[in-house]
């Protein structure tokens, strides 16, 4: 832990450098000529800035961003008050939008800039206005130092935000899941469509999707029934300008749009239903939430709510097309809770639901790619695709059996393919095998 005066223990040095604790002891004993290891103070700790200088000079350790990591560690240490940490996040947001050092502005001048960025006080003005005028010079200097250590302000903002303790940050989706959902948005979004982030709870996913080089920056809507200042700030820092609207207002969703909904309790099924009513032609809805709500055996009242999205006995703008139970640990807080994924959209009658249980698998790149391919096939040509993670289950089987969606007969409840389709299916499979593998997920080869 970084001390209140910017000092480090040997264990802290090891963490910062990305090495084991004994390696640091060896560095102290085997000094490089002319570059001695920094001396310890009376408490046996080491000046953090001296350690960073030594690591950068010698090139030792496995962390090329050691200076930026130190700046973030200081800002998120127990010695930093939550109020001061929040002020630094606010200033880093302003620094990103300004793209100029904060120390060149007085607080009044900075407030004028915030007013220009946020004239309706949707995401930033009040936070800047609440800064302490006496503490501002020190805060501005520290925010500038963090930004410079991280090479550019947005990276500093993201790193400080990710390191901020608290339930809100713990509930954010892990990058692997964000990549999967962003890839799904990429595949389902039509050129004229837009991404709709209901209540601003999927901005991490939208940001990854919007960063795709071959995907034009999509229009973003954020329907919400309460102000969502944090989400707006995250979007603006990332160079996106979402358009807000009321939850029950007309979202005016374009054809070919993708709507993202994050649910946390059974009351949120009403939010999913509102999204379904707002669905435009050829659009889809992606729902992420606890498996206990979306796929697992549940109390009768939850099953009743789920049935509204499963049944096809009356006309619906969208029904459940696919559901997958995901591995545990896909939130940043490390919770062992299992999440699940729903995919809703228009469907011909009758149509099965494609079900998968990945809860016992490693959510590696191969698994994510296989699931992504299967979900894409659900909306294209399921009869011509060899599914790896999903299997088809008739809706009548699911509604009749009740209980868990992912435990309804397994692969035995698959959709039969007519004999007349066999030839076309084999030809398509051969063509798929001969084609190069899609590179939806970027990767770096192992050294």
pLDDT score at 261: 97
Residue with the larger pLDDT of the pair 110 and 73: 110
Q: At what angle do helices 82-98 and 136-149 cross, to 10 degrees?
A: 60
- Plot region of 99 (φ>0 → left; ψ -120 to 50 → alpha; else → beta): left
> CATH for 7-64?
1.10.1660
User: What CATH class does 175-434 carry?
Assistant: alpha beta
**Assigned token pair, 289:** 């939430």
**Mean predicted confidence (pLDDT) in 149-162:** 82
Q: Are 312 and 235 in contact (CB under 8 A)?
A: no
pTM of the model: 0.79
Place of tokens 């690591």: 55
Where does CATH 1.10.1660 sit in the chain?
7-64
pLDDT score at 84: 85
CA distances to 177, 205, 296, 310, 357 from 387, rounded to whole Å, are 20, 25, 22, 21, 13
**Mean predicted confidence (pLDDT) in 384-389:** 88
Where does CATH 3.40.50.150 sit in the chain?
175-434
End-to-end CA distance of the chain: 31
* DSSP per-residue string spanning 401-431: H-S-TT-SSGGGSPPPPPGGGHHHHHHHHHH
pLDDT tens digit string along 198-244?
Answer: 999 999 999 998 877 555 566 899 999 988 999 999 999 998 989 99
Length of the chain: 447
Distance (Å, whole) CA 152 – CA 132: 25
The yes-or-no verdict on residue 379 having pLDDT over 90 is no
How many other C-beta atoms are found inside a 10 Å radius of the C-beta of residue 22?
Answer: 10
pLDDT score at 436: 53
CA dihedral sign, ordered 399, 405, 410, 415: positive
Q: What percent of the chain has pLDDT over 90?
A: 48
pLDDT score at 216: 58
Which helix (H) or strand (E) segment is 71 a member of? helix 66-75
Place of tokens 């139970």: 325
The yes-or-no verdict on residue 346 having pLDDT over 50 is yes
pLDDT tens digit string along 30-89?
Answer: 877 788 899 888 888 888 888 988 998 988 889 887 877 787 777 766 666 788 888 999
- Give residue 439's pLDDT band: very low, low, confident or very high (50, 70, 90): very low
């Amino acid at each position: 832990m970084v001390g209140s005066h910017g000092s480090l223990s040997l264990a802290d040095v090891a963490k910062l450098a990305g090495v084991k604790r004994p390696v640091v002891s060896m560095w102290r004993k085997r000094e490089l000529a002319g570059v001695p290891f920094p001396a310890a103070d009376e408490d046996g700790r080491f000046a953090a800035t001296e350690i960073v200088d030594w690591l950068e000079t010698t090139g030792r350790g496995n962390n090329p961003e050691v200076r930026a990591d130190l700046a973030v560690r200081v800002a998120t240490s127990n010695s930093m008050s939550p109020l001061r940490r929040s002020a630094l996040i606010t200033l880093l947001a302003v620094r990103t939008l300004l793209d100029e050092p904060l120390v060149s502005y007085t607080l009044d001048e900075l407030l004028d800039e915030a007013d220009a960025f946020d004239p309706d006080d949707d995401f930033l003005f009040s936070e800047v206005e609440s800064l302490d005028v006496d503490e501002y010079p020190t805060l501005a200097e520290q925010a500038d130092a963090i930004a410079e250590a991280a090479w550019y302000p947005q990276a500093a903002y993201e790193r400080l935000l990710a390191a901020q303790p608290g339930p809100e940050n713990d509930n954010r989706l892990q990058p692997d899941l964000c990549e999967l959902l962003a890839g799904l948005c990429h595949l389902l979004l039509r050129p004229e469509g837009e991404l709709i982030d209901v209540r601003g709870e999927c901005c991490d996913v939208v940001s990854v999707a919007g960063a795709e080089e071959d995907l034009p920056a999509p229009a973003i809507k954020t329907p919400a029934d309460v102000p969502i200042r944090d989400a707006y700030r995250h979007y603006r820092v990332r160079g996106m300008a979402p358009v807000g609207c009321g939850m029950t207002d007309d979202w005016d969703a374009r054809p070919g749009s993708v709507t993202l909904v994050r649910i946390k309790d059974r009351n949120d099924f009403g939010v999913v239903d509102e999204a379904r009513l707002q669905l435009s032609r050829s659009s889809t809805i992606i729902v992420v939430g606890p498996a206990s709500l979306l796929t697992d055996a549940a109390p009768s009242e939850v099953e009743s709510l789920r049935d509204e999205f499963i049944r096809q006995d009356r006309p619906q703008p969208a029904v459940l097309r696919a559901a997958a139970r995901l591995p545990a640990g896909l939130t940043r807080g490390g919770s062992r809770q299992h999440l699940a994924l729903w995919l809703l959209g228009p469907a011909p009658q009758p149509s099965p639901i494609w079900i998968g249980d990945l809860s016992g698998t490693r959510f590696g790149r191969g698994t994510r790619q296989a699931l992504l391919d299967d979900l894409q096939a659900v909306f294209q040509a399921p009869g011509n695709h060899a599914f790896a993670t999903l299997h088809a289950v008739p809706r009548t089987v699911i509604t009749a059996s009740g209980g868990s969606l992912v435990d309804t007969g397994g692969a035995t409840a698959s959709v039969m393919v007519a004999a007349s389709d066999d030839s076309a299916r084999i030809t398509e499979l051969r063509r798929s095998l001969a084609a190069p593998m899609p590179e939806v997920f970027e990767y770096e080869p192992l050294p």
